[in-house]
Amino acid sequence: MQSVDRAISVLEILSQRGEAGVSEIAAEIGVHKSTAFRLLGALEARSLVEQAEDRGKYRLSFGVIRLAGGVSARLDLTQQGRPVCRRLAEEVGETVNIAVVRSHYAVNLDQVRGSSAVTAHNWVGQLTPLHATSSGKVLLAHLDDGHRDRLLAAAGLPRFTPATLTTAAELLPQLDEARARGYAVTVEEYEIGLNAMAAPVRAYDGEVVAAVSASGPAYRFTEARMHELVPVLIAGAADISHRLGYAG
């Protein structure tokens, strides 16, 4: 753990200074010059730092951009999706979320509450089951079979309500249907009294990178109401996809 902490300190120093030599870095983190040299060598092997021409100094390399790419992509998704989610929340009157796959869960990155929302529940940052949520079904539906099977094996298919799908024989046909028609619904499958619908969001290359969902109380956000609002939700998902560079 000490080596990891020192390596992170090296990256922070180079981020602040732009460039620094082995002796400077060693003095800054309080280690022998040979230790600093080994740390820099390990970081250089991972393309996280590089030597600045012939001056004996080190600077951050493009490997850092690769690591940051995952975060920047999610920040861009939230930034581009927020105005669309606001509009959807107004049109639908219910809570709208954007979710992505994280490990074997769906995690909500952003949320906008509609005018009819009756609860202040905040789903942002929460890990939710893929098989029992509309966003999760959409995300699963657009994974390749191997990846999907690994996630389901890791998570299992636990029951949350009497309506939860707990077998592959029940779930897989719904995933096929979601992929074919462009949206998924859940009817009290994760929480009793909560219904939801979701549609896929695509990146510039057509890959499904997120799901945008609308959820509300079952007594108001009925199955009939959800299917009535399908065109609105799909149009919103297409708008976010377009903002991310998707031209399809």
In CATH terms, the fold of domain 1-70 is Arc Repressor Mutant, subunit A (1.10.10)
What is the tens place of the pLDDT at every residue in 203-212? 888 899 999 9
- Going by pLDDT thresholds of 50, 70 and 90, the confidence category of residue 243 is confident
Confidence of residue 164 (pLDDT cuts 50, 70, 90): very high
Instruction: Please give the pLDDT value at position 142.
Output: 95
Range(s) within the chain of domains with CATH label 3.30.450.40: 73-244
The pTM of this model reads 0.70
Residue whose tokens read 């790419």: 69
pLDDT in tens, 145-158: 999 989 888 888 99
Tens of pLDDT, residue by residue over 119-145, are 556 778 788 999 999 999 999 999 999
Rounded to 10 deg, the angle between the 2-17 and 33-45 helix axes is 80
141 CB contacts (<8 Å, ≥6 apart)? 175, 176, 178, 179, 184, 200
* Amino acid letter for position 196: A
Q: What is the DSSP string of 52-71?
A: -TTSSEEEE-THHHHHHHHH
pLDDT at residue 195 greater than cutoff 90 = yes
pLDDT for the residue numbered 71: 54
Where do the CATH 1.10.10.10 domains begin and end in the chain? 1-70
pLDDT in tens, 27-85: 988 888 888 888 888 888 888 888 876 667 888 887 776 666 555 555 578 888 889 99
Instruction: Tell me the mean pLDDT in the region 13-39.
Output: 87
**According to the model, what pLDDT value does residue 4 have?**
83
pLDDT at residue 1 above 70? no
Domain covering 73-244: architecture = 2-Layer Sandwich (3.30)
